Structure 1
Amino acid sequence: MSLSKFFILCVLNQRPMHGYEIAKTVEDTTQGCCSPTPGALYPVLKEFEAGGYVTAHAESVGGRQRKVYTITDKGREAFQVAVKAWAEVGACVTAGSEGACDTSTCR
């Protein structure tokens, strides 16, 4: 799972959000390191919805319609798997920066 997809699931794991809020929260959470554009965000959300990782429902706010996305149990499971995988990557990067990366653990 890419980092941008990981961060999208990460923020949805906190609570349901609409697209702009997801993008803003990812940007804030990553201190600007990952800032998904609408052109990148919405195809991922559509992919997640088609795969059963999130659900979406329409909400009317101030006369405007927007989709609110909610992570599903399947999405939470995928997020937990990704947390473990990215933790392994982080450990390998840290070990590598210290000159002690065991390549057998860096898949």
Structure 2
Amino acid sequence: MKQKEIIWKEISILNCSANAYPSGKPYKKQMLQGKVFPTTKEQAIAFVSMGCLLGILNSEDVKVVEKVLNKHGLKGEYKYVCCKQYVKLINNSMLDISLKKEYVF
């Protein structure tokens, strides 16, 4: 399903999995657990090369993911998880493509 088709049980104001880590802070362990959204070129390269996936996403996470995808003409596909309270990105390759375009690598 697309972003607009998701019916949220609650709207979140804090990220669940698409968290930003400042440059220089340790992030690789959390990235492998699906709890970091890359915000620098170094993080994006690590995210793609390590084959990382985002964990479960709430409404705020989906906004973050869609912002990067839409900037490069792509759209996310999601499926419900955890009693339809969260979603999971199922076309992760689109996120990798958009990160490569965003940070030019």
| TM-score range for the pair, normalised by the shorter chain length | 0.3 to 0.5
TM-score by length of 1: 0.34
Return the structure number with greater strand share. Answer: 1
Return the structure number with greater helix share. Answer: 1
TM-score by length of 2: 0.34
Larger relative contact order (CA 8 Å, sep ≥ 6): 2
